[in-house]
Amino acid sequence: MAGKRLLSCWRRGALWGWRKPCFECTTLLLEMIFWQGPRFRDPYEPMSRRGVTVWFTGLSGAGKTTLSCGVAQQLRAWGLPVEVLDGDLVRQHLTKGLGFSKVDREENIRRIGFVAEMLTRHGVIVLVSAISPYRAARQEVRQYIGSFIEVFVDAPLEVCERRDVKGLYRKARAGLIQHFTGIDDPYEPPEQPEVVCKTAEQSISECIDLVIQSLKSRGYV
């Protein structure tokens, strides 16, 4: 009966604002809008699915973006909610005004962590790809987010320099880029990461499998 009444109101234009809908249809529409079922969930209400932030850290050229995109592709194929926060893209938008001093780098990580926490809280698997060179900053976002998996994308500096398609290492060694991680700015490797991907020794698929298995073992997938 409710469906027939709504159809009747729709045909005479009441639901499009041309005429005033009847009381029963108004009540039914309000119930549909505010019903907290699967199709009408409040978009700001945390989901029951457990979200998590997977934080890929390592030198420039280590393979962070490649791995995060590979993991994202696999998770999306399974129909899971995934967002990738790539450090380079974030700097073009969210943290555009920040430089590469220690203070600015830490602020960059805090802002990425803020976005990652919101997405994680709403059931999203967040894949962060950022150099994030300082342990203290990574520990800060770990504590803030809570559901957190740290992936150390481990590649020797000389390997990263050989992969340097953008020529950043050459510019840094020539003094054209200041505060470049691994050259004139330190990188502090994780002491107890959940996952270690040695991209100079392991294939991309092997590294992706390590991350997926970590998610499975913790119940996120």
> Which residues are tagged catalytic?
132
**118 in Cβ contact with 149 (< 8 Å):** no
How many beta carbons lie within 10 A of that of residue 101, not counting itself? 12
Q: Rounded CA gap, 24 and 28, in Å?
A: 6
Q: Alpha carbon of 201 to those of 42, 62, 159, 180, 198: distances in Å?
A: 46, 12, 11, 25, 6
Q: CB burial class (10 A; 0-12, 13-18, 19+) of residue 92? A: exposed
At residue 128, φ and ψ (nearest 5 deg) are -100, 125
Coil, strand or helix: which one is 69? helix
